[in-house]
Amino acid sequence: MDKYSELKSLLTSKVEEKLPDLIALNDDLADNPELSGEEHRSSQKIAELLEKNGFRVEMPFAGLETAFRGVFGADNHKYKVAIMTEYDALPGIGHACGHCVSGSISVLAAIALAPLQDELNCDIHILGTPNEEIDGAKCAMVDQGIFNGYDMAMMIHLYDQNLLYCKLLGLHQYLYTFHGKAAHASAAPWDGVNALNAAQLMFHGIDMLRQHVTPDVRMHGVYRNGGEAPNIVPEEASAEFYYRALDKDYLFELDKRADNCAEGAAIATGTTWEKALTAAMYDNLKNNDYGIEVLREVYDELGIEINGDHDKIFGSSDAGNVSFVCPTFHPTLQIVDRGVAIHTREFAQAVKTPRAHEAIKQGAMVIGLHVAKIFSDEEKIRRMKEDF
């Protein structure tokens, strides 16, 4: 038996042994969803399970209360891999993004890979990366240089398709606030300067801009403040916009064009305006083509059919930021029928099904075998790094 086959056999045995614990964790997280930045119980449950399996867990981590880092062993090997773990839920619809399943996959993969560290000459770190739905903890970790020391990072998302990689859009989020002057809307409206009119005009400007941007671009917004009462000319109004694009440089160009919409609206209405970031900026995902080809071999070995559209836009994730620091992989596994979208009640209902439980096992094997294939072969490591 060659080295890789031995590693695969050990990994499979460990995944099978620990799978019931991770199914229990998944179902518990699904039944007790916690919003982004508030994942106190969830992170504690995961930390306890990791400690039970021999990991030293640092929490809080990176200045974030619900983030953690788990390390197994002496942490003295040549290479280091970060397995990223998400566990935040959505308002009103719980784990409709499947983070309970994804997080359980990462934990099982880390536990199963830990005994192989000496053979691979690779330390397996598991990073708890909360707040993905709002202000991405991975962004803060990237800014702090935490990912600089890793040779590879990986996680798996759940979806209605099996994909080797996701087309992730960069994302910028801003709150635009317009300032006018209050007045009695009936007795003396001419004394007022209507801030809501400015916010409305900005929406029209963004709507018109849509026809003059590249097809990958997404721009969407909501009013956050429209005034106090109908009989008062609104002296302040605000709107929050998200801008997304496949190229991070083009995204900054979009920022400027959107600012022009705000400026034009302010000039037309006699108001002033300001803007503020409402969350960290997410980058697009930088693919590692060689690593993806190795991942294709893993999917084939496990009999996972690649049945989706890699050109379809998936959305945005703070994993994109990590991909500009080290080779980063963000494949997907299918737990629902095609056409059932993430961030829906239907998806949330699927996270405790036998199909989701099977995905925990599959996902741990995908991460485990991908790490084993690459880090058991110096040539593969070299080619992955070269491609990055």
- Residues 135-183: tens digit of each pLDDT: 899 999 999 999 999 999 999 999 999 999 999 999 999 999 999 999 9
Q: What angle do CA 104, 109, 110 make, to 5 degrees?
A: 100
- Mean pLDDT score of the chain: 96
For strands 236-245 and 170-179, give the pairing.
antiparallel
CATH 3.40.630.10 fits 3-168+284-387, yes or no: yes
For residue 288, is pLDDT > 80? Answer: yes
Q: Which CATH class is domain 173-277?
A: alpha beta
Domains 3-168+284-387 and 173-277 share a fold: no
Q: Which among 310, 342, 366 is positioned nearest to 168, based on CA atoms?
A: 310
- Residues 187-216: tens digit of each pLDDT: 999 999 999 999 999 999 999 999 999 999
* Three-state DSSP string of 101-116: HHHHHHHHHHHHHHHH
- In this structure, how many other beta carbons lie within 10 angstroms of the beta carbon of residue 77? 16
Q: What is the mean pLDDT of residues 314-318?
A: 90
Predicted TM-score of the model (pTM)? 0.89
CA–CA gap between residue 301 and residue 370 (Å, rounded): 11
CA–CA gap between residue 268 and residue 284 (Å, rounded): 35
Give the start-to-end residue ranges of the domains of the chain. Answer: 3-168+284-387, 173-277
